[in-house]
Amino acid sequence: MTTEPLADDLAPDEPATEVPPKPRVWRRPRFWIAFVLAAALVAGWSLTFYYQHSSETYRQADAKSRATASDLSKRLGSMTQERDTEKARADQLQTREDAVKQLEDRVQTREGEVKKREDAVSQAEKVQAQNTIHEGTWAVDVDIQPGTYRTKDPVSGQCYWAIYSDANGRNIVANDIVTGGRPTVTLSGGQYFTSRRCGDWTKVS
């Protein structure tokens, strides 16, 4: 094992060796730290601005959406009211049309009834006319129907009637001059009947 000589063991005639100083090592500034800090600061500002901007944008969008929804709701309410109004008008119009239709049906029914009555009266009048003999000379089965006739009203004055078997009036079947009451005659087919101052005759059978 070897040992280093001590200073006392050095020879006095040997001068001591001076150790030169170590050179300083120049260290560059740590710019990357500053860059990171600056980037973090910028990022923080950006995020803050973004969130603020996003929040403001959201608020604006929300306000716009609410306004749009409110406007749409008002429009919908207005349209619904207009629809209900139109429906009410349509219902009223339909009710009036139904009432008019019912009235027209009633009028038509009454007109039908009146027409039936008129037809019945016309038929009765036609039958009565066929069964009525007026003043003059008439051919049975041609002008008047055969049957028994009676004056409609009591006669006054001198009522003359005659029944003939020929158109010339030469062959008298029966005749009479009546001054009162309601005379009656019976006529057969092929005969001729003459009435003077007797009024109307109506068929009784």
pLDDT over threshold 50, residue 1: no
pLDDT in tens, 3-49: 444 444 444 455 555 656 665 655 555 566 766 677 777 666 666 66
pLDDT score recorded for residue 28: 54
**End-to-end CA, the chain:** 187
Domain residues of the chain, as ranges?
A: 34-130, 134-203
DSSP 179: -
pLDDT score recorded for residue 21: 63
Give the integer Cα–Cα distance in Å for 170 and 79.
Answer: 99
pLDDT score recorded for residue 20: 61
pLDDT score recorded for residue 16: 52
Kind and range of the H or E element at 185?
strand 184-187
pLDDT over threshold 70, residue 123: yes
Residue of higher predicted confidence among 120 and 14: 120
pLDDT in tens, 159-201: 999 999 999 989 999 999 999 999 999 999 999 999 999 999 9
pLDDT in tens, 59-118: 887 788 888 888 888 888 888 888 999 999 999 999 999 999 999 999 999 998 998 888
pLDDT score recorded for residue 65: 81
pLDDT over threshold 60, residue 124: yes
Question: Cβ atoms within 10 A of the Cβ of 198, count?
Answer: 25
pLDDT score recorded for residue 15: 52
User: Are 193 and 161 in contact, with CB atoms under 8 Å apart?
Assistant: yes
pLDDT score recorded for residue 50: 63
DSSP 38: H
Token representation of residue 192: 């001729």
Segment among 45-59, 114-128, 129-143, 164-178 with least mean pLDDT: 45-59
pLDDT score recorded for residue 10: 44
pLDDT in tens, 140-163: 999 999 999 999 999 988 999 999
Residue with tokens 């973004």: 50
Token representation of residue 15: 């001068």
Helices (H) and strands (E) in the chain, counts: 1, 8
Q: What are phi and psi of 28, to 5 degrees?
A: -70, 150
pTM exceeds cut of 0.75: no
pLDDT over threshold 70, residue 53: no
